[in-house]
Structure 1
Amino acid sequence: MTDFPGAPSGPSTSPRLRVLAAMSGGVDSAVAAARAVEAGHEVTGVHLALAANPQSFRTGARGCCTLEDSRDARRAADVIGIPFYVWDLAERFREDVIDDFVAEYAAGRTPNPCLRCNEKIKFAALLDRALALGFDAVCTGHYARIVELPGGGRELHRAVDAAKDQSYVLGVLDAQQLAHSLFPLGDTTKEQIRAEAERRDLAVAKKPDSHDICFIADGDTQGFLAERLGRAPGDILDADGTKLGEHDGAYGFTIGQRKGLRIGHPAPDGKPRYVLDISPVDNTVTVGPAAGLDVLGLTAIRPRWCGPAPVGAGRYTAQLRAHGEEVPVTAELAGGQLRVALDTPARGIAPGQAVVLYDGTRVVGSATIAETERRAVAEI
């Protein structure tokens, strides 16, 4: 049997697996399922119904989990020739992803719901159920690679297509979860995937990708939060505590935000101001110059390792945002917390986001940013 592109680089005699393919209704997961079948595995497709009241159709290219997506996934499964089911995980998704998202913003943090969904839904709730039903692995359309080690064990690596690489949001997976995961697309570019989908007569070949936050179909995050948290007026301050304006809810701001501050007069130096701090305790938003965003170091909590936890201080690169660039760092696990010192300052880093450590293309692990160390505005 020939391994499919992106599969663990094991011997050609690798066993036939019972594989549960998570099919979102998009082109990536459809091709991933097809490749798993082509590799000789016994594949069953499943679509996760994550919305309690799904709308019939997508709004442009935003969102997922609509009835349209479910039907697209079923049609793809029919073309591939595999059994297909819909599993209702809407309640679990609401508790673990949506409620967590709202609570994090209410606490002045900036969460990553895609990362949380991978941790709590696709590779916890879904994988746990799959293993209980006798499946050997879960297959998804994520762009990442799993490399099998000669002596056993697996490593998670970046995808070949850097523009589509999704290893950042998979950095929450531990060794046990990686042992039961397949990412067939890791060695392929997006253009190749779409071309392959056409050759396979999959109707989703040209379907637009979903983007932004899947459960906020219209892209209005502030409106979504306001509906759930209500209006909470507070002050917008500069670094010395001078009131510059008012807001309707501190949850509507993120660290590094420049637009929509509603400050009536310019800064004394005429330069733009950015959100530097969000305080849920006194419901204030502090703004200041761009240089005030420079993060020199950070402390992160709830570390999760894709293999053995590192020992002592080490040199890595770190990705600090879903679409951010890697930066060289020194990181050390101490007292259950990850302490990271950046070689050069990075901007737009907020508590609640994830820091993912890399050793070359290998994903070492991730943790949730709790605190950042920045220059005091008075020093700028």
Structure 2
Amino acid sequence: MGSPEHCVASRTPGQRVIVGLSGGVDSAVAAHLLIEQGYQVEALFMKNWEEDDEPGYCAAAEDLADAQAVAEQLGLRLHTVNFASEYWDRVFEHFLAEYRALRTPNPDVLCNKEIKFRAFFEHAQTLGAAQIATGHYARVTQDAEGLLHLRLAADANKDQTYFLHLLDQAQLERALFPLADLSKAEVRAIARRLGLANAEKKDSTGICFIGERRFGDFLARYLPRTPGPIMTPEGRVLGEHRGLAWHTIGQRQGLGIGGVTEAAEAPWFVARKDVARNALIVVQGGNHPLLYAEHLLGEQVHWIAGRAPAAAPFDCLCRLRHRQPLQHCTIVGYDNKMCQVLFDAPQRAITSGQSAVFYQGDACLGGCVIQQAD
């Protein structure tokens, strides 16, 4: 299986490392593990969104308080930084542009590349650190030629390589993932044993750094509403949507068209966006053929190694969303910008703007942004 490799989760104990302390239990335990391994550890709390709406959706103040409590318990110096400007310019503007283009972006992927493993590292350098660490569930190994490989974490349910697939060799070289070999249950057990204040804190969800909120209301602050018909593939109008940008392929909830036919027991799903007619095309039943495709065209292709693993065509595995079981596929063609992917089995709800992430075995190869599926 290629050159022998070794884990690089603990590269050089004794050196200075800055841990991104989010206020959550994962980063707290990551900090503790690095201290145990002999690193000189300090922590950094990143505020990346200005809270300008009602309380409860972007709880940066609460997260900071939790980070401060953990830092005090672990005896860490805690730095704070505001990356709101960088987040807006590098992540959120792209997020909005994708929605204007009627695509469904994944801001967590770009956030990792541009904020957590770029802006964070650049700031850590000014604090005298050569490496950073996070509470991500992922593993890094290095082969005999010195090439770094991003690999699945031990906890398959928590593995976050899907969100890290845009990292490159330089970013992997300066990053540590102390939770690589732990399950979430083990992480919480360590936190309880240490008596950490956030040992039982629930995992964060929602948009990266923006938090949990009523998404439709949030999006309406930045994009105009463009109502249009909700239609069947045959052209029957069932209702009205608030704007194509507010919907995604495969969506079931929030359509407002339940009970419009005699077969009301079968739910409706978004299958297409007809831009020319500003129409949302919906189908009845979760296994409708229009929800499936065998082929996708991807853009903005990125390989973690800096190059593809083989000349096309080559077989690999693919994940179209976080936690989706790995799917067998063939990369039938690619260049520096585009790739064509053919799946062994039809895939449900392939969504433009989302990421298709490629694997061989447990190694994450990189990925692309889905342009279209057919």
Q: Which residue of 1 aligns with 2:144?
A: 150
Query: In structure 1, what is the Cα distance between the partners aligned to 2:346 and 2:223?
Result: 34
Superposition deviation, residue 24 in structure 1: 0.4
Superposition deviation, residue 296 in structure 1: 0.6
Q: Which residue of 1 aligns with 2:340?
A: 339
Q: Deviations along 1:229-250, whole A, 9 cap, x unmatched?
A: 1332112222244433222211
Q: Identity across aligned pairs (percent)?
A: 36
2:32 counterpart of 1:37: no
Q: Which residue of 1 aligns with 2:295?
A: 297
Q: Which residue of 2 aligns with 1:159?
A: 153
Query: In structure 1, what is the Cα distance between the partners aligned to 2:107 and 2:9?
Result: 36
2:90 counterpart of 1:80: no
Q: Which residue of 2 aligns with 1:50?
A: 48
Letter aligned with residue 184 of structure 2 = K
1:299–1:369: 8 Å Cα contact kept in structure 2?
yes
Query: In structure 1, what is the Cα distance between the partners aligned to 2:109 and 2:262?
Result: 37
Alignment partner of 2:195 out of 168, 187, 201: 201
1:24-173 alignment, distance < 5 Å = 24-53=22-51, 59=56, 66-131=60-125, 133-173=127-167
Q: Which residue of 2 aligns with 1:377?
A: none
1:230-241 alignment, distance < 5 Å = 230-241=224-235
Superposition deviation, residue 370 in structure 1: 0.7
Query: In structure 2, what is the Cα distance between the partners aligned to 1:249 and 1:233?
Result: 5
Query: In structure 2, what is the Cα distance between the partners aligned to 1:325 and 1:204?
Result: 31
Superposition deviation, residue 214 in structure 1: 4.5
Query: In structure 1, what is the Cα distance between the partners aligned to 2:256 and 2:54?
Result: 37
Instruction: Provide the secondary structure at the position in 2 that maps to 1:355.
Output: strand
2:204–2:211: 8 Å Cα contact kept in structure 1?
no
Which of 197-206 and 126-135 deviates more? 126-135
1:181-196 alignment, distance < 5 Å = 181-196=175-190
Q: Which residue of 2 aligns with 1:363?
A: 364
Q: Deviations along 1:39-98, whole A, 9 cap, x unmatched?
A: 1112220000112127897x4xxx665111111112211222222111000122123333
Which of 32-41 and 332-341 deviates more? 332-341
Q: Which residue of 2 aligns with 1:326?
A: 326
Letter aligned with residue 44 of structure 2 = V
Q: Which residue of 2 aligns with 1:4?
A: none
Alignment partner of 1:278 out of 267, 273, 276: 273
Q: Structure 1: state its 5+ residue gaps.
A: 1-7, 374-380
Query: In structure 1, what is the Cα distance between the partners aligned to 2:11 and 2:18?
Result: 20
Query: In structure 2, what is the Cα distance between the partners aligned to 1:32 and 1:345?
Result: 39
Query: In structure 1, what is the Cα distance between the partners aligned to 2:114 and 2:354?
Result: 16
Q: Which residue of 2 aligns with 1:372?
A: 373
1:56–1:67: 8 Å Cα contact kept in structure 2?
no
Quickly say closer, same or farther: Cα 1:255–1:10, change in 2 above 3 A: closer
Superposition deviation, residue 140 in structure 1: 0.2
Instruction: Provide the secondary structure at the position in 2 that maps to 1:205.
Output: coil
2:152–2:159: 8 Å Cα contact kept in structure 1?
yes
Which of 182-191 and 213-222 deviates more? 213-222
1:108–1:279: 8 Å Cα contact kept in structure 2?
no
Superposition deviation, residue 335 in structure 1: 5.2
Quickly say closer, same or farther: Cα 1:262–1:42, change in 2 above 3 A: same
2:303 counterpart of 1:309: no
Q: Which residue of 2 aligns with 1:376?
A: none
Q: Deviations along 1:246-298, whole A, 9 cap, x unmatched?
A: 22211121101123323373288985432111245543211225221112111
2:260 counterpart of 1:265: yes
Q: Which residue of 2 aligns with 1:20?
A: 18
Query: Number of aligned pairs?
Result: 362
1:239-258 alignment, distance < 5 Å = 239-258=233-252
Quickly say closer, same or farther: Cα 1:133–1:336, change in 2 above 3 A: same
2:232–2:281: 8 Å Cα contact kept in structure 1?
yes
Which of 21-30 and 295-304 deviates more? 295-304
Superposition deviation, residue 195 in structure 1: 1.1
Instruction: Provide the secondary structure at the position in 2 that maps to 1:69.
Output: helix
Q: Deviations along 1:270-328, whole A, 9 cap, x unmatched?
A: 85432111245543211225221112111111122211421312111100012322110
Quickly say closer, same or farther: Cα 1:335–1:362, change in 2 above 3 A: closer
Superposition deviation, residue 173 in structure 1: 0.6
Instruction: Provide the secondary structure at the position in 2 that maps to 1:48.
Output: strand
Query: In structure 2, what is the Cα distance between the partners aligned to 1:343 and 1:204?
Result: 44
Query: In structure 2, what is the Cα distance between the partners aligned to 1:304 and 1:94?
Result: 23
TM-score, L = length of structure 1: 0.88
1:273–1:287: 8 Å Cα contact kept in structure 2?
yes
Quickly say closer, same or farther: Cα 1:271–1:40, change in 2 above 3 A: same
2:51–2:58: 8 Å Cα contact kept in structure 1?
no
1:52–1:91: 8 Å Cα contact kept in structure 2?
no
Alignment partner of 2:282 out of 265, 287, 310: 287
Q: Which residue of 1 aligns with 2:3?
A: none
Instruction: Provide the secondary structure at the position in 2 that maps to 1:229.
Output: coil
Instruction: Provide the secondary structure at the position in 1 that maps to 2:222.
Output: helix
